[in-house]
Chain A
Amino acid sequence: MTGTLLSGIGAFLASAVEMVEALTIVLGVGVVRGWRSTLIGVAAAAVVLAALIAVFGAALGSIPIETLRLVVGALLLVFGLQWLRKAILRSSGYKALHDEDEAFREQRAAAAAAGDVQRAGMDWYSFTVSFKGVLLEGLEVVFIVISFGAGQGRFGPAIAGAALAVVLVLVAGVVVRGPLERVPENTIKFVVGLMLTSFGCFWAAEGAGVDWPGDELSLIGVIAFFAAVSWAFVQALRRRRLGTPVTA
């Protein structure tokens, strides 16, 4: 139960933060060059992402759960440490914070500067940029959903969490009619990094043959441990930075 709930929350947060970034790209192109080709690009990417989840989800179902937890846990742990490492570097000032408003302005400028690429009634610049943007941002969500689903032995909670985030971000995008710069992206990324690292650590160790005390309840302890350690690292890096110049 604990793992199911947490994996749903993790997939929701990861999906939300990636979809906010994808929305910025789509808005930047759509506002400048029109919506038809842009939205076809979004739909095409969504189909590819859904197909990836269906194909890999079905294929992973035939692998024994212990083997799956070892492999998926190890991959999730390495992948999650990337997120956590970047989040700690951002929080301590060693890496620039992600700014949706600035990304939106850059995307609009690039879309306006790009030449006219009309063929077969399609603006291929809009299609390509929106397709690539949604696909690349969505690929991280697909990886997380597949990992959570495979580690948990059921895909429902992770898919539901990710899908709910997509719907909420889309509705927010339509209501705001602009990039969602007020979403605390860096904080969410920190939390997602913590959850990916904790789940990865839990499943990888389980796959290696270890029994956690309290089974899935240990996940709360693992998350608390990495949260405390990350907080300490942020403080240590902040103190260190006082004596050295900041680089973006």
Chain B
Amino acid sequence: MRYVRSFVGFWWDFIVGDDWRVAAGVAAGLAVTAVFQVWWLLPPVVAIVLFASLRRAARA
């Protein structure tokens, strides 16, 4: 069990990193994009998610 947890923890840290809210924001942005089917939606959503994450890092 310990190895499974370490394995999952490693990949989580490798891909998601410091701020899980970035991954959550991307998932939400993709879901909205899939519903509305417009190409211009995802880039600004990603920019907003990035901005929010940077603001949190700067405050910390």
Contacts and interface: CB of A to CB of B under 8 A. Distances in A.
Nearest to A222: B43
A2 to B, nearest CB: 16
Contacts of B57: 85, 89, 94
A56 interface: no
A213 B15 contact: no
B39 A211 contact: yes
B29 to A, nearest CB: 9
SS class, residues of chain A in contact with chain B:
helix
Nearest to B32: A208
B8 interface: no
A208 B26 contact: no
A237 B58 contact: yes
B54 A209 contact: no
Contacts of B27: 74
Nearest to B49: A81
A53 interface: no
B30 A204 contact: yes
Contacts of A197: 46
Interface in B5-25: 14-19, 22-23
A237 B54 CA distance: 8
Interface in A88-109: 88-89, 92, 94
Contact-residue bracket for chain A:
35 or more
Nearest to B53: A85
Secondary structure of the B contact surface, majority rule: helix
Interface string A230-241: 100100010011
Interface in A68-91: 70, 74-75, 77-79, 81-82, 84-85, 88-89
B42 A205 contact: yes
Nearest to B31: A208
A214 to B, nearest CB: 10
Interface string A199-234: 001001100111111000010001001100110010
A229 B47 contact: yes
Nearest to A139: B14
Given A89-B54, A229-B50, A233-B54, A81 B22 contact: yes
B39 A82 contact: no
Contacts of A241: 58
Given A205-B42, A218-B39, A78 B54 contact: no
Q: Which 6 A-B pairs have the closest CB atoms?
A: A208-B34, A82-B17, A229-B47, A205-B42, A210-B39, A78-B23
Interface of A: 70, 74-75, 77-79, 81-82, 84-85, 88-89, 92, 94, 139-140, 143, 197, 201, 204-205, 208-213, 218, 222, 225-226, 229-230, 233, 237, 240-241, 244
15 contacts: A78-B22, A78-B23, A85-B57, A89-B57, A140-B14, A204-B42, A205-B30, A205-B33, A205-B41, A205-B42, A208-B30, A210-B42, A212-B39, A233-B50, A244-B58
